[in-house]
Structure formats: structure tokens, C-alpha cells
Chain A
Amino acid sequence: MTTTDWPYLDVHQSRTHEPTPYEFKLAATLEEVFTKDGHELADVVRGLNARQVHAPDGGPWTEESFRAEIHRLGA
């Protein structure tokens, strides 16, 4: 396969998949927390829990669970 389509103009070059509704919601809430609450890990955990955006297991976030989940999502 050597044919090429010019021009290559692809908005999303870093994604492996279309984000899920959960991922969109978490990302939007994370941006809000970073904007309004702060940039520390404690701010993130507190901010997500205060906004009722739950961890994958449905419970509240801890620093440990956030680290693990964001590592999976940001790989």
C-alpha cells in the first residue's frame, strides 16, 4: 500500500479510541477542579468527590485510586 492521500489533516492523533462518556465527564470535571480548586492531588480527590464524579468502583476517590486510574487513562 503506497498510495497517499494529501493532505493529512487529522484532529486526533494521540487517541487510541473515541473517549467514553465516563472519560469525557471525568476530563471535563478534572478541568473544572484544576481551574477552581487547585493543582494538588488532594485538591483533585476532594474536588471530584465533592462533584459526585465517582471512581470506577462507584465509590469515592482516594489519592491511590486516582493515581491508578489516571495512569490507566493517560498511558
Chain B
Amino acid sequence: MTTTPTADHIYATGLRNQWHPVVPSHFVAPGAMRKVTVLGEQWLLFRRSDSTLSMLADRCPHRGAPLSLGKHLGDRVACWYHGVEVETDGTVSSVPGLPGCNLEGKKLVRSLPVREVAGAVLAYFGDEQHPEPAELTLPEPLTDPGIDAILCYAEWEGGWRYAVENLLDPMHGSFLHHESHTMFDGDTTAKFRIRETDRGYFFEKTDQRGVNFDWVELCRTGVDWVDLSIPYPASAGPGGPFGIVGMVCPVDENRTGVFFWRYRDVQGWERDSWRFLYKTLIEKRHWEVLEQDRVMLEAMPADADQHENLYQHDLGVVRLRRLYRAEAEAQAQGQAVSRNL
């Protein structure tokens, strides 16, 4: 059904053969379905009334009509155009216009492996050579019962890579976010280094930690995510700094879904206090910081990375681009990519 996309296309619309976040879980209520775009492709999220979630190509195997225009029949979807019924694993269960026709019983619609994690839907997008899902190791802050994480999801105009590059560029915190509740402090000059890990790399200041957005870790564990930490002002109460687990959904060439779980290592009354303050007052301040990112990234020209003059603080970004570009090239050539960076 699909031809192998070019490296440029993969680089622009997102890497294959890995898990990506799709939308928050609550976007698909029990008994509902939702059309979503990921990697420039059309998909259908389908949830049964018992909450079981499936993800199908949004394309009827009969004539290609979007299944998302069809009817939710509990355990299958009926295409609106000619009534063809498709089960959640992609098997055609009924062709009402011609009962017994040879489409029936055939698995003709692509169905993706899905997982729900900390309030978000993750799905595995393999190409034809890699249909089996990559092993997925979830970010520890989202699985550690002692850590409380709250998801913030937003949809931005602009390509996915600029959203990730923004996270691998901590120094923007001292400037773009200087007027904010958390990043008003610390030096506006710094030296950075890259420190390798077995799952990615740290990009960190060598001369300041715990004052501003001073380090970030890129982690590739079946899904790509970043971890970072930013101090809270004293008004946020006990529990120290907050962390962010960040992921992006490459929607298409020009749109990105961003997932930021703000997390804190807090329990008992300290946890309850943070959650209460977060819901009542702090969430809006976090949002204002995120809006600064959105305004800047949406204003970036599409060819911004074609005419740059980079300096030492951009090492984290350069590294990221090299990594993703190499992977896009390899995927375009249909090669398995080693996870070594």
C-alpha cells in the first residue's frame, strides 16, 4: 500500500520504527472514536465501552473512504460509504452489500500496537520491514509510584524537530523564559558539555546546576523523550525542583503535539499541597512559559536551520540533528538502525 518514503520525508514527518505519543487518553472516551494524524498519516483511535483502545488506518479497505466518518458498532466500525465493517484488529467482518464476498475474514486494515501511559496514548509505527513493536521502556518518572506527574498537552504549528531541538537547548530558558515564575535566576552565560549515556546523552552546563534550566537528558528507549529539571520558587512548597518528561508527536510536516509531564518527588501532604496549588494557581504559570515557546517556535521560518551561525551552546541541537538525520537516511534505505548513537 505504501512505498518507502524518502529520507527528507521521514526527517520532516517523524521517524518510523519506534513508539510515539498520539493524544491524551481522555481525547477518546469509552464507546467513542477519534481521527488523528501522526507522521503525516491518517489514523483512527477506537475505544470500546470497556475502555480497550485500538488504532486503525483511517481508510476503508473497500474504496479508501475514511472510517472515521463511519459508525462505532461497539467492537467494530462500519464505513459510512458502503457499510463495510472492520474489527479492531483490522479484519473485515462483514460486507453487507455482498455477504460472503471474499473481503470478509481478511485482515486488510493496518492496526497498530498501542499502550496507554500516564494519561497519554502511545503507538508503535513500524515500517514494512519492522512490523513488530520495538521494546518500550517507559520514563521512570512516569512509572515510579513515589513521583507525581501531571500531563500538559498542546498542539503547535511547526515541525516536530524544532520542538525537540528547543528542549535540547537549555540556554533559551535564561532569555526566552527570563520573565517567568521559574527561570528568572542564574547566569546568562555558560559552558556546556555532552555526556554520553547508554540510552542517549546529557547536554548540561558545566558550571551551574539547580538554579535554572541547567541540564537536559535525551532518552531513546523505544520512545524518544527528554528529562529535565527546573527549580521552583519557595512558594511551590516542599518537594524541591520539578522535572519535565517531554515527548512530541510528529503530526505532519507543519504540526506537532507536545506532551509535557511536570513531575515532582513528593508524597503525603506535600504531594497533596503541590497538586492543589498546581490546579489552582501554578498550572497557569507553567502554561505562560509554554506559550513563550509556542510563540517563538511558530514564528520560526521553515528554513531556519538552512541559514544558521551556531555556537557552543548549540552542540546539543547539532548532535540531535545528526542522530535523527542518520536514522532518517537509514530508514529510507530500509536498513535496521543500530541504537548506538
A39 CB contact (under 8 Å) in B151, B237, B255, B271? B237
Q: List CB contacts (< 8 Å) of B265-304 with chain A.
A: 268-269, 271-281, 283-284, 287, 294
B34–A11 CB distance below 8 A: no
Report yes or no: A14 in contact with B278, Cβ–Cβ below 8 A. yes
Partner of A31, one of B44, B235, B268: B235
Say how far A40's CB is from chain B's closest CB, in angstroms. 8
The answer to whether the Cβ of A50 comes within 8 Å of any Cβ in the partner chain is: no
Q: Does B69 contact A (CB under 8 A)?
A: yes
Instruction: Verify A19–B280 contact, CB threshold 8 A.
Output: yes
A14 touches B150 (CB 8 A): yes
- A58 in contact (CB, < 8 A): no
Residues of chain A within 8 A (CB-CB) of B68 are: 2
Instruction: Give the size category of B's interface with A.
Output: 35 or more
A27:B35 contact, CB within 8 angstroms: no
* Residue among B151, B280, B294 making CB contact with A27, cutoff 8 Å: B280
Contact of B283 among A8, A11, A39, A66 (CB under 8 A): A11
- Expressed in whole angstroms, the minimum distance between the Cβ of A70 and any Cβ of chain B is 4
Contact between A8 and B154, CB atoms less than 8 A apart: yes
Q: A23 CB to closest chain B CB, in angstroms?
A: 6
Bound together, the chains give a CA A14 to CA B260 distance in angstroms of 13
Number of A residues whose C-beta is below 8 Å from B? 36
Q: Does A7 count as interface, using CB distance less than 8 angstroms?
A: yes
Q: With A7-B157, A27-B276 in contact, do A74 and B281 touch (Cβ < 8 Å)?
A: no
Check: A51 CB closer than 8 A to any chain B CB. no
CB distance from B108 to the nearest CB of A (A): 20
Choose among A3, A9, A74 the residue that contacts B271 (Cβ–Cβ < 8 A).
A74
Q: By the criterion CB–CB under 8 Å, are B281 and A27 in contact?
A: yes
Interface string of B121-137 (1 = CB under 8 A from A): 00000000000000000
Complex interface bits, B90-121 against A, C-beta within 8 A gives 1, otherwise 0: 00000000000000000000000000000000
Closest residue of A by beta carbon distance from B239: A39
Asked whether, in the complex, the Cβ of A8 is within 8 Å of the Cβ of B275, the reply is: no
Q: Are A27 and B277 touching (Cβ within 8 A)?
A: yes
B233 near A: Cβ within 8 Å? yes
A37 nearest CB neighbor, chain B only: B234
Smallest CB separation, A57 vs chain B (Å): 18
Bitwise interface map of A from 10 to 46 toward B, beta carbon under 8 Å scored 1, else 0? 1111110001000110111011101100011100100
Q: List 21 A-B contacts (CB under 8 A).
A: A2-B35, A2-B44, A4-B34, A7-B255, A8-B155, A9-B294, A11-B284, A13-B153, A15-B283, A27-B276, A28-B281, A31-B277, A32-B235, A34-B238, A35-B233, A39-B234, A39-B238, A41-B269, A67-B272, A70-B269, A74-B273
A interface list, Cβ under 8 A from B: 1-4, 6-15, 19, 23-24, 26-28, 30-32, 34-35, 39-41, 44, 66-67, 70-71, 73-75
